[in-house]
Amino acid sequence: MGTDRLESQLAFVLEIDRLKTVLRRTTLVDRSRHENSAEHSWHIALMAVLLAEHAAEEVDLGRVVRMLLVHDVVEIDAGDTFCYDAEANAGKEERERRAAERIFGLLPADQAAELRELWDEFEARETAEARYANAVDRLQPMLHNLATEGCSWQRHEVSVEQVIERNSPIGDGAPGLWEHARARLEEAVEKGWLRRREATKASAADVRRKLAELGIEDEDARRAVSRSRSR
Asked if residues 25 and 148 have their Cβ atoms less than 8 Å apart, the reply is no
- What b/e readout covers 182-194, taking b as 16+ CB neighbours within 10 angstroms? beebeebbeeebb
Count, residues in the chain:
231
Pick 123 or 200 by higher pLDDT: 123
CB atoms within 10 A of CB 72: 23
Asked if residues 174 and 55 have their Cβ atoms less than 8 Å apart, the reply is yes
- The per-residue pLDDT for 88 is 85
pTM summary value: 0.84
Pick 204 or 178 by higher pLDDT: 178
Asked if residues 30 and 98 have their Cβ atoms less than 8 Å apart, the reply is no
Phi/psi of residue 23, each to 5°?
A: -90, 140
Q: What is the pLDDT of residues 131-145, one digit of tens each?
A: 999 999 999 999 999
- The per-residue pLDDT for 2 is 78
Report all structural domains of the chain as residue ranges with CATH numbers, in order of start.
Answer: 3-135 (1.10.3210.10), 197-230 (no CATH)
Pick 3 or 161 by higher pLDDT: 161
- The per-residue pLDDT for 225 is 44
CB atoms within 10 A of CB 179: 13
Q: How many CA atoms lie within 13 A of 102 on its CB side?
A: 14
Strand 23-27 relative to strand 34-36, pairing: antiparallel
Q: Report the alpha-carbon distance of residue 65 to residue 44 in Å, rounded.
A: 8
Q: Report the alpha-carbon distance of residue 205 to residue 179 in Å, rounded.
A: 34
Q: What is the pLDDT of residues 57-95, one digit of tens each?
A: 999 999 999 999 999 999 999 999 999 888 888 889 999
Helix or strand holding residue 34 (H, E): strand 34-36
Phi/psi of residue 159, each to 5°?
A: -95, 160
Q: What is the pLDDT of residues 207-219, one digit of tens each?
A: 566 556 666 554 4
